[in-house]
């Protein structure tokens, strides 16, 4: 590898198949440019997006996570997003008390018609995350018993 490249945030987006994924498709169809930092994980419904997935994304060194689905009332499965909304509301409380940076985890509703919104959301998140720098989830690392924390040899 040559010189250290500028920081490029890694953004993981968990999106529902019927609204936000199609919204992102529409952004493509309309050739709406946005930063290439986002990786979409397609799930059928926001109802399927479990909090454990978000934790895993941070463990895998995501710098920001986006969760997005159909607007209230639009859910393909009628109520998955309502269940998700309530879950996330509570989950954010837990993250807050743990001191997880809430600026690293975003929730939006983006419909299949909102290609423009997808573009804006991704651009904003990418820029904001780029400004904040890499996310060191679970840091500062404990030093007192350093040996216990010999983390994965791979980085």
Partner 1 sequence: MIESLRKICRDLLQSNEVQVVIGYGQSGPGKPVHPVFVRRPEDIHQLVWNEHCYTNLVAYLKRKEVQSLGKAAIIVKGCDERALVVLEKESQLERKNLHVIGVACEGMGEPRLRKCQTCKVRLPRFANEVVGQMASAVDDSRPRWNELEEFLKQSPAERMAYWVEELGRCLKCYACRQVCPLCYCERCLVDKNRPTCINTSATPKGNFAWHITRAFHLAGRCVGCDECTRACPVGIDLRLLNQSLARAAEEQFNYRAGMDPQAEILLGSYSLQDKESFIG
Partner 2 sequence: MSRIGVFTCWCGENIARTVDVERVAEAVAQIPGVRCSVHNKYMCSDPGQTMIREKIASERLDVLVVASCSPHMHLKTFRKAAGQAGINPYLVEMSNIREHCSWVHHDKEKATEKAIQLIRLSVEKVRRNRALEPIKVPVTKRALVIGGGVAGIQAALDIADTGYEVVMVEREPSIGGKMAGLSETFPTLDCSQCILTPRMVEVGQHSRIRLYSYSEVESVDGYVGNFKVTIRQKARYVDIDKCTGCGECWNCCPLKKQLSEFDYGMGTRRAIYVPFPQAVPARPVIDKNACTKLKKGGCGLCEKKCLAKAINFKDQDKLVEELVGAIIVATGYQLYRVGQDQGKRKLSGYGEYGYGRYKDVIDSLQFERLVSASGPTGGVIKRPSDGVVPNTVVFISCVGSRDNAKGLSYCSKICCMYTAKHTMLYKHKVHEGQAHVFYMDIRAGGKNYDEFVRRAIEQDGARYHRGRVSKITEENGKLIVRGADTLAAVPLTIEADMVVLAAAMRPSDGAEELAQELGVGYDEFGFFSESHPKLRPVETNAAGVFICGACHAPKDIPEAVAQASAVAGKVQVMFGHDEMTREPEIASINEQTCAACFACVRTCPYHAIEKTEIRSPKGILVKRTARVNSGLCMGCGTCVSVCPSKSADLEGFSEQQIYSMIESLV
Partner 3 sequence: MSEVISTTDLRQLVGDWLSQGKRVVGPRQVKPDLILYEPLVNGEQLLLDGFVRPSNSIKEFVFPRHESVYAYLFQGKELDLVDAEVPFREQVLLAARPCDAAALPILDPLFNWDYEDEFYNTRRRTTTVVSLACLAHDDACFCTSVGLGPAETRGSDAILLSTGDDEFVVQPVNEKGRALFSGHTRGSAAEPTFPPGPKKKFKPGHVQTFLREQFESSFWQEQTLRCLGCGACAYTCPTCHCFDIVDEGNATGGIRAKNWDSCQFSMFTLHASGHNPRNVQAQRQRQRLLHKFLVYPEKFGKILCTGCGNCTRNCPVSLGVLSVLEALGTGQSI
Nearer to partner 2, 73 or 133 (CB): 73
Rounded to whole angstroms, the Cα distance separating 5 from 37 reads 14
Nearest by Cα to 46 from 96, 86, 90: 86
Compare residues 24 and 142 and give the one whose CB is closer to partner 2.
24
| DSSP class of 25 | H
Find the shortest distance in angstroms from Cβ 28 to partner 2: 3
Q: Which residue stretch of 14-22, 26-34, 70-78, 141-149 sits at the interface with partner 3 (rule: CB under 8 A)?
A: 141-149
- Quick one: what does residue 89 bind among partner 3, partner 1, partner 2, none, with the CB cut-off 5 to 8 Å set by partner type? partner 1
27, 118 contact by CB (below 8 A): yes
Q: Please list every residue from 36 through 95 that binds partner 2, using CB under 8 A.
A: 36, 39-45, 47-50, 53, 56-57, 60-62, 73, 76-80, 83-84, 87
Contact with partner 3 (CB under 8 A): which of 1, 6, 98, 153? 153
Q: Is the peptide bond before 140 cis (omega within 30 degrees of 0)?
A: yes
The option from partner 2, partner 3, partner 1, none interacting with 147 (CB < 5 to 8 A, set by class) reads: partner 3
List the x/- string, 50-69, binding to partner 3 by CB under 8 A.
----------x---------
Taking a C-beta distance cutoff of 8 angstroms, is the pair 125, 64 a contact? yes
Query: E strands within 8-146?
Result: 11-16, 38-43, 64-69, 105-109
152 binds partner 3, rule: CB under 8 A: yes
Q: Rounded to an integer, what distance in angstroms lies between the CA atom of residue 137 and that of residue 55?
A: 10
């Amino acid at each position: 590898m040559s010189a250290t490249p500028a920081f490029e945030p890694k953004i993981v987006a968990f999106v529902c198949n019927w609204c936000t994924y199609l919204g992102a498709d529409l952004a493509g169809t309309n050739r709406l440019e946005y930063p290439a930092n986002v990786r979409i994980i397609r799930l059928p419904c926001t109802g399927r997006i479990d909090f454990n997935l978000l934790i895993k994304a941070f463990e895998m060194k995501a710098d920001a996570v986006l969760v997005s689905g159909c607007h209230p009332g639009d859910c393909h499965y009628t109520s998955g997003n309502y269940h998700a909304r309530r879950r996330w509301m509570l989950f954010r409380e837990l993250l807050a008390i743990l001191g997880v940076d809430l600026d690293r985890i975003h929730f939006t509703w983006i419909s299949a018609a909102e290609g423009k919104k997808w573009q804006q959301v991704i651009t904003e998140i990418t820029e904001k995350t780029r400004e904040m720098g890499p996310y060191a989830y679970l840091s500062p690392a404990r030093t007192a018993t350093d040996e216990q924390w010999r983390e994965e040899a791979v980085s």
